Chain A
């Protein structure tokens, strides 16, 4: 059975602040064990088959580390776009939504990006203290987002 809400974070846990996406998912999963309406997933990066994870959802929250956003985090209501990332193995969330529309001939469910500011991405490093502080702030926002009443209804 497809759950109405998906929280999907990506990144590499062994590359410093790149772990913010998976860490956010892990902590939300741990903090909300009773929420049977939410599926929590994480991966290294967004790839085309993730369009299948969006099917049948009411809302989707993407979580990723960002070097470009203002600290501690930014949120963005996503729109489909054929941006430059479609030229790599990995996709941007906007390109994923574009691919979803082409393959399913309809728009993806509403998707929000939670971009958490990171600074250091070296192999073998733990997340920095500053990034973890950004994560705490982002988690507070995410818990609020996940408590919105429309998420509690089935898709």
Chain B
């Protein structure tokens, strides 16, 4: 594990540099760096403003509303929340298992979501860095720059995204605020007309996905020193896998490996996630730090997402992606790949896998007909775990006899990767910034490391102009220490009832 730059021994007198906001990530994050007089890095922290009000937003609502409501938590991966909530509430209505038709339509929806999310990230958010260079001209380093220099790549990205959105529309009922998945199953089939529309383009999309894998692979081959070393650090890896060890993004058992690739545990039920994972609170950030209970706080943190999934599974159950996975794993020559930029390669292999799965499901008659709903013995709690585009997503609900949600716990992918992203920025700071005069290009190296994880820091809100920001500082025991509001003009005010409130 990387040596810590989390807390400087003597922060007094150090120069502070802030990257605020981190760009090309969803939501608001910032990085603070403390440097001494010789420009030596003494402390690096990634701060993410996460609003823990989500759980309160859901508590008290009827459970059947939840799969629709949770889509409003995030404008980037609403379908992942929609399906994770549905999976959790399947347990509450006793729908274990759901029907084959419902399962296949949900899978189709999910793989469409992951596909379009991966396409957005690679083509529009990361390709500017990867194609032009991390310290290339800043005004060019964006999707408009890519569209100008590589219009074919930009166009494929847009059309892949659009295809994924159409898969979502065909399965969820609408492009946004879909209502297709419900506790116990699905409420509609895919129409024959939609299936034909999607089938018409599916081979083209598979080919473009293969092209994307080739781009990512070529980038690694052209500069292995950079791609293997940049933001590299050893970590544990956690993900769902199918019971037979296959990659599965919708369902499975929980598996974790250590940094050398040895299994830490396997076959763990998602219903028992609290036996495996605990979340640590640190005083300098609102976001928690999950860790594996069996290894403890210091050694138990882990990575999730494409890099973990591809190295946790034993095989990918689709032919083209499996060929690519073997080459990817072979790159490590028997060792796990730990470079942060390997996320991009892994993500594109998943993109290809998603398209292969979509093609297979579109040929399955069960998506057009068959029983959609299942019921069983009513229960009071349920856990739904899904592999969202960025990694493992956990929804946990408790429901009263009156059908109202009494408790809710969400652990989102970006929270799982919190410690890993901090390690990545510390690794890059140590390698590239330490002892150098800082420049925009050097600081962008820090952002490149964060973007590799495709963090979703979203509170799913936006507006023209500046947003107000309200933050609550919680103590380790969950007690409110301070509440502040940042106004659109940048000023701060302490809110009534907090310790920090003025006289």
Contact = CB atoms under 8 A, between A and B. Distances in A.
A47 B76 CA distance: 10
Interface stretch (B152-160, B363-371, B411-419): B152-160
A49 interface: yes
A89 B120 contact: yes
Contacts of B467: 67, 121
A65 interface: yes
Contact of B162 (A52, A69, A122): A52
Interface stretch (B380-388, B395-403, B454-462): B454-462
Category for how many chain B residues contact A: 35 or more
Interface in A111-139: 115, 118, 120-124
Contact of A15 (B72, B125, B154, B465): B72
Given A42-B176, A48-B120, A123-B51, A67 B158 contact: no
B57 interface: yes
A2 interface: no
A102 B144 contact: yes
A64 B161 contact: no
Nearest to B470: A122
Contacts of B155: 103
Interface stretch (A6-14, A27-35, A147-155): A6-14
B305 interface: no
Nearest to B56: A124
Interface in B332-362: none
Contacts of A82: 139, 142, 144
A90 B24 contact: no
Interface in B71-94: 72, 75-76, 78
Given A47-B161, A48-B124, A12 B460 contact: yes
B317 interface: no
A12 B56 CA distance: 17
Contact of A65 (B75, B144, B175, B463): B463
Contact of A103 (B147, B177, B466): B147
B147 A89 contact: no
A44 interface: yes
Contact of B24 (A13, A44, A87): A87
B54 interface: yes
A52 to B, nearest CB: 5
A123 B57 contact: yes
Contacts of A42: 176
A118 B139 CA distance: 31
Interface string B109-145: 0000000000010001100000000000001001110
Interface in B24-46: 24-26
B141 to A, nearest CB: 8
A122 B53 CA distance: 10
B225 interface: no
B461 A12 contact: yes
Contacts of B142: 82, 86-87
Interface in B1-32: 23-26
B376 interface: no
Contacts of B78: 44
Nearest to B458: A89
B69 interface: yes
B459 A86 contact: no
Given A45-B75, A89-B120, A69 B460 contact: no
Contacts of B176: 42-44
Interface of B: 23-26, 51, 53-54, 56-57, 69, 72, 75-76, 78, 120, 124-125, 139, 142-144, 147-148, 151, 154-155, 157-159, 161-162, 165, 175-177, 458-468, 470, 488
